[in-house]
Amino acid sequence: MKNLKLITLLIALFMLYVQCEQESIDSKNSESIILNEEILGDKTDILNTVNESILAKNYQNRDAVEFVYTGQLCGLNITGMYVDATAYQSLHHYFFNGNEGDIISIYVPRTTIGFDSAFTLYFGTIDTELLYVASSDDVIADTFGGCFSDPYIGDFTLPYSGTYTLVIHEAAHCGYPMGYEIITTGINCNDADFDGCLNEEDPYPNSIMTETIIIDGIDTGVENKFKNCGTMADEIQDIINQINDQYTGDNYYILHKKLSSEVSKLTYYWYKDRKITSKERTTIGNAIWKSNIPYSIRS
């Protein structure tokens, strides 16, 4: 009986010791996180330095870490991890294609306590000129209790059509390991114009997605309806491109009349298919006649 009481007492003392040790560790970790935040304070200067280095393509660890793409963003969540000892000095680059007016969101939460994730978005590629578009840091609190918060931009409208480069980097080094996840919406590498037709099967992979048909800056007010993996504006633009290709410098009026005739044929079929009304057909015809196409007449 005495032995049982002794064993029980020893177990209780051991559990108390373990609890105290854990509280001590948690306290030290908490103090370390607070210390990091107090020392670093406003990270604006750090982020500005990183941005300037990226634009100059001369980051502090440029010689050790080659400027290459880590991967492509296609709408699926991507996980990443810095693994080498100087990882916090390096960059991870991802690219995706987008169109002007696309609305996207990008969220890069850390997947480990040590990574203070941040990102910068550029228009262009690492092989060409990079144009700063946006950046983010410390927007959404991380779920690990680490230092600072995680970056996020939402309902962001892309300003240009083409290739974008997303650079993942550290805003402040908080320790190891250094993992992150990229979660996006509005980005899809298989359907550039989000019309439901895959790029390889789409006759208009970058469709004109304006709400109304606009011809040479003239808004017809006619709804730009979707048709056969493209829009009505796409079909009119096809004709305009063909007319422009035929322009020699002295055949403007001949081509302008031809443009009017070809668009008239096209809108006749739209009218027969009940895609547009007779009045809308006339409106489109008037816009064509008022336009300065072929465009080369302006030069």
Task: Tell which residue, 197, 47, 156, 168, has the closest CA to residue 110.
Answer: 168
pLDDT of the residue at 284: 97
What burial class does residue 48 get, using C-beta atoms within 10 Å of its C-beta: 0-12 exposed, 13-18 middle, 19+ buried?
exposed
CA 213 to mean position of chain CA atoms: 27
pLDDT digits (tens, 9 = 90+) for 191-248: 766 666 777 778 888 788 888 999 988 999 999 998 778 899 999 999 999 999 899 9
Mean of the pLDDT values across residues 94-116?
85
Which of 16-30, 119-133, 243-257 is the least confident region? 16-30
pLDDT of the residue at 15: 57
pLDDT digits (tens, 9 = 90+) for 142-166: 777 667 778 889 999 999 988 899 9
Q: From CA 207, how far away is CA 231, in angstroms rounded?
A: 7
Distances (CA, A) of 57 to 3, 51, 62, 130, 172: 71, 10, 8, 9, 20
pLDDT of the residue at 97: 83
Q: Are 122 and 131 in contact (CB under 8 A)?
A: yes
| pTM (2 d.p.) | 0.48
Q: From CA 213, how far away is CA 172, in angstroms rounded?
A: 49
**Does pLDDT of 277 surpass 80?**
yes
What burial class does residue 29 get, using C-beta atoms within 10 Å of its C-beta: 0-12 exposed, 13-18 middle, 19+ buried?
middle
Helix (H), strand (E) at residue 220: strand 218-223
**Does pLDDT of 20 surpass 60?**
no
Q: Are 192 and 102 in contact (CB under 8 A)?
A: no
Q: From CA 82, how far away is CA 41, in angstroms rounded?
A: 24
